[in-house]
Structure 1
Amino acid sequence: MKLIYTGASGAALFLLLHHCQIASTVGQKSDRALTVVENTEGWEEGSVDKKAEVTVDEEEGDFEVVQPTDNWQTLKAGQAVPAGSHVRLNLQTGHREVRLGEEQLKYWTQEHRETENDQSTISADDLKRAMKKMKDDLNPNSVTSKYRPLGELKRDMAQLDLLVETDIQIMKRLLDQLKNSNSTTELKLNLLLDLEYLVHQVDNGQSLCSMGGLQLIVEGLNSTDFRLQETSAFVLGSAVSSNPMVQVKAVECGALQTLLTMMATAQPLGVKKKVLFAVASLLRNFPYAQHHFLSHGGLQVLSEIFTADGGGVLRTRIVTMLYDMISEKELISRAGLDLGHDAAHEERVHQYSKVSLQGELLEKGWCNLVPQLLESTEHDYREKALRALLAMAPMCLDQYRSDRSLLGSLLTLRDQYQEMVESEIIVGEENSYFAEIVELINSLQVKMQ
């Protein structure tokens, strides 16, 4: 028997040892794996109860684990108790008794009892087998037998001769397949979509030009298949977006004139959307292209599309493009006040001075066209129309003031959005999107007074 003493007083230990000796002399067998923990209720009459651990080492055989309850029960020879149980020696009967410890009483549930009852008997053979398996698993030879050496893996990877392509190599391969006359329409559509993904990057867009791919994309705009026209316009718009060098190359290879022709002819809605995207990307921050667009009747073509569009999708894209052109020219003019004599900025201001956008908008009737977008039920469409109306106000105030339908629309929209704002304030939402629309309406009404 191995006795482990944990925190009991010297007198208590002596008394416990004394009674264990008495029990042994009367023929009782020592208990196995017996754990005695502190009794928080203190000493009971005729009992010894202190925190001690008594363990018997047994090499073989089974032992029965008694599941304590909240009542004292007698332990029989060959029985063991779970750790944390309260064990005492009844001095009157000479029997050991056990019950649940304080922590066990706190967390014990019927579910725990049922689970542990199924595992109340543990075989020493099972423990030996488990220990043997742990040793086998930790054996270095068994580990290396399951995995291949690093050197062998490296040799196998080298033999695979993996091919890693750069973006330029991929683009060259895609363009070669596009040029192939045997490529089907479906294949070309997939190739164009792959190109569109790549040309978003500035360097790739410029590489597209150097490899002659931009001209190939422009030729796709003249395809007889609407799907190829739409996807080609998508690729072109992505390539020229925020890429000045590609913008210049696109104008030089006739992309803008081709896009204007496509807008002026009957096209499906999907094609027109992508063409407008390409035109807006090509004109953004590019005064030379804007001047070319206006001088070739671009606003007249846009007004025809605006009038024919009933859904508002194309109208919104057109109004947004016009707003961007007006705003960037105004921004360049204001920036000149801070930069002073800067050669590059002065050249840019000079280029924008050739873009007679305001006069063209007034002449082509856009002061009366843009307010029509307010009739839409989409909040986003209305917001973009209000921003464009504010940007056009310096040249369109007379038309605004004489347009009774515009005055009525502004009053109706203000009441509608003000009610929405008040509803949001009630639920604790402030500075909402609808509040911004109310501010735009108020600003426009102030300018019209």
Structure 2
Amino acid sequence: MLMWLCCVSVTMRLACCRVGGASFSRFILAAVLLLHRCHIASSLQQRSEGALTVVKNTEDGDEEATVDDVGDLEVVQPSEQWQTLKPGQAVPAGSHVRLNMQTGEREVRLGEEQLKYWTQKHREKEDAGTSFSPDELKRAMRKIKEDTSKDTNHQDSVASKYRPLEELKRDMAQLDMLVETDVQIMRRLLDQFNSSNTTTEQRLSILLELEYLVHQVDNAQTLCSMGGLQFILEGLNSSDIRLQESSAFVLGSALASNPAVQVRAVESGALQTLLTTLANVQSFGVKKKVLFAVGSLLRHFPYAQRHFLSHGGLQILSELFRADGSGILRTRIVTMLYDMISEKELMPQALDPVQDPSHEERLRQYSEVSLQGELLEKGWCSLVPQLLQSTEHDYREKALLALLVMASVCLDQYRLDSSLLDSLLVLRLQYQEMAQSEMFLGEENSYFTEIVELIDALQVKMK
């Protein structure tokens, strides 16, 4: 503005000095030229602060213009989002500029071509960040080869320790090996057992193999159909104690939970043989195995239980009970009696008349077993409490269980037995203390608490 006023002032002075003829024409021309120059200079000096300047954009889009190009300007680098332009700021070529009608401010962002280029450029950078250099690939390949070589060497070392499969097949074919079934094995064992050339040691070995096989229900039934049951009963009558014990073990394993074998054994006279062995044998080991066989024969078989009672079975057991000082035979006998009493009491609820066609017949057979009456007559009401004197917790537990199921016929004798009353009081105090110790240690299901509950239940019945 000042330059413009100076030019006007100079012009006015020139006009006042020269005013005539040709001189005046030259004066007018000089004044016009001077005014034009002043106007240009004023325009360059007074650049509008709101003007928008565009600078040349480089290939990467991030090089600013120099002062020589557009003067000392601040170049804004646009992004994907709109951003406000301040006065005096310049933008790269290709940028998208708009006037925000709400705020009255100018805004800029990347143009379409720039946005596409910028996105592609950053994607290439990310992809380049996850790539591997040639040296890294070479090291990885070298590592794979080394690991493969180690695995191959390990496999070769392992394979060298074993024979090839084809070689094993050839050797087995030369041996002409024959795979026997269980039936074939039992047939071979019985033939060897019955041979006159077989020694006692060999017979013992045969019985051991048979005991393993007859745990399967089908094998036990097959052994009976082969006549093996008769050989086993003959072993019970042997003069060799070892053969008696092994034969009783095989018989008990074959009878366990196998009704078909139980019936065949009773029909073959196995019960009489077992009771005779119990009454006459002196060996403790034979007695244990024979008791095991008797218990397997009587369990869930009321017909055999009735014959057991009629052949004086309880009397034989009572003699064994009195003669046993260790408590092992006593516990086996008491457990057998408990099982027989319990299954008779629970049988009406266990049998289903719809699913079990023999329901009525089984109930009839159990009704003929007068076990508890026999227990009272044979003095078992005073014999079983003697097992409480044992120091073994398991023996005492078995005695308490038997005393509870016998209470219906022995209750009056229990009340008159002062030693039984004293034993229950002492045992309750002892097990109550043990139960509290277990609870203190954090054991919820205390074994000793269960024994205390059995004692309490028996004391309640005796009141």
- Describe the shift of the 1:215–1:425 C-alpha distance in structure 2 as closer, same or farther (beyond 3 A): same
1:346 Cα deviation after fit? 1.0
1:72-121 Cα distance to aligned partner (Å, 9 max, x none): xxxxxxxxxxxxxxxxxxxxxxxxxxxxxxxxxxxxxxxxxxxxxxxxxx
Q: What amino acid is aligned across from residue 326 of structure 2 in structure 1?
A: G
Q: Which residue of structure 2 lines up, in the alignment, with residue 320 of structure 1?
A: 335
For 1:346, the equivalent position in structure 2 comes to: 360
SS of alignment partner, residue 257 of structure 2: coil
Asked if 1:445 corresponds to 2:459, the answer is yes
Match 2:375 to one of 354, 357, 361 = 361
Cross-structure match for 1:224:
239
Residues 1:151 and 1:349: Cα distance change in structure 2 (over 3 Å):
same
Deviation at 1:203, TM superposition (A): 0.1
Gaps of 5+ in 1: 1-52, 57-126, 139-143
CA displacement at 1:160 relative to structure 2? 4.1
Structure 1 or 2: larger helix share?
2
Matches within 5 A, 1:34-433: 134=149, 157-335=172-350, 339=353, 343-433=357-447
Shift in Å, 1:339: 4.1
- The C-alpha deviation readout for 1:2-24, integer Å capped at 9, x for no partner, is xxxxxxxxxxxxxxxxxxxxxxx
CA contact (8 A) 2:381 2:410 kept: yes
Q: How far, CA to CA, are the matches of 1:288 and 1:315 in structure 2?
A: 24
Pick the structure with greater CA Rg: 2
Runs of 5+ consecutive residues of structure 2 not aligned to the other structure: 1-131, 136-141, 154-158
Q: Residue 204 and residue 400 in structure 1: after superposition, are their counterparts in 2 closer, same or farther (change >3 A)?
A: same
Percent sequence identity over aligned pairs: 74
Out of 382-391 and 150-159, give the one that drifted further: 150-159
1:20-60 deviation digits (Å, cap 9, x = unpaired): xxxxxxxxxxxxxxxxxxxxxxxxxxxxxxxxx9999xxxx
Distance 1:333 1:135, change over 3 A: closer
User: Could you tell me which amino acid in structure 1 is paired with residue 435 of structure 2?
Assistant: V
* In structure 1, C-alpha distance between the alignment counterparts of 2:223 and 2:176, rounded to whole Å: 28
CA distance in 2, matches of 1:153, 1:270: 46
**Residues 404 and 177 of structure 1: is their aligned pair in 2 closer, same or farther, counting only changes over 3 Å?**
same
Q: Which amino acid aligns with 2:395?
A: Y
Equivalents in 2 of 1:322, 1:147: separation in Å? 58
Deviation per residue, 1:236-265 (Å, 9 max, x gap): 000111000100111111111011001111
Deviations 1:267-305 (A, max 9, x none): 210000000000000000011100000000000000000
Distance in structure 1 (CA, Å) of the matches to 2:403 and 2:254: 30
SS in 2 for 1:385: helix
Q: 2:151 and 2:254 mapped to 1: Cα distance?
A: 62
What is the distance in 2 between the residues matched to 1:179 and 1:381? 41
Deviation at 1:215, TM superposition (A): 0.6
- Counterpart residue identity of residue 325, structure 1: M
TM-score, structure 2 length as denominator? 0.65
| One-letter code aligned to 2:303 | Y
TM-superposed CA distance for 1:417, in Å, is 0.2
Which amino acid in the other structure matches residue 231 of structure 1? Answer: S
Offset of residue 231 of structure 1: 0.5
Give the secondary-structure state (helix, strand or coil) at the position aligned to 1:377: coil
Alpha-carbon distance in 2 for matches of 1:150, 1:296: 62
**Closer/same/farther in 2, CA of residues 149 and 343 from structure 1, 3 Å limit:** closer
Deviations 1:298-327 (A, max 9, x none): 000000000010100000000000000001
Pair 1:152–1:349, CA change in 2 (3 A): same
Which structure has more relative contact order (CA 8 Å, sep 6+)? It is 1
Whether the aligned pair in 1 keeps the contact of 2:439 and 2:446 (CA below 8 Å) is no
CA distance in 2, matches of 1:357, 1:314: 20
The two structures have a TM-score, normalised by structure 1, of 0.67
Q: Distance in 2 between matches of 1:148 and 1:301?
A: 62
SS of structure 2 residue aligned to 1:285:
coil
Letter in structure 2 aligned against 1:297: G
* Structure 1 residues 163 and 333, CA gap change in structure 2 (3 angstroms): same
Q: Aligned pair in 2 of structure 1 residues 296, 134: CA closer, same or farther (>3 Å)?
A: closer
Task: Tell me the distance in 2 between the aligned counterparts of 1:135 and 1:349.
Answer: 74
Greater alpha carbon shift after TM alignment, 308-317 vs 257-266? 257-266
Q: Displacement of 1:430 after TM fit? A: 2.3
- Number of residue equivalences: 329
Residue 250 of structure 2 aligns to a residue whose secondary structure is helix
CA shift, 1:149, in A, is 8.5
Whole-Å Cα distance in 2 between the matches of residues 419 and 146 of structure 1? 61
Q: What root-mean-square deviation, in Å, do the aligned CA atoms of Structure 1 and Structure 2 show?
A: 3.6
Kept in 1: contact 2:252–2:293 (CA 8 A) = yes
How far apart are 1:154 and its partner, in Å?
5.3
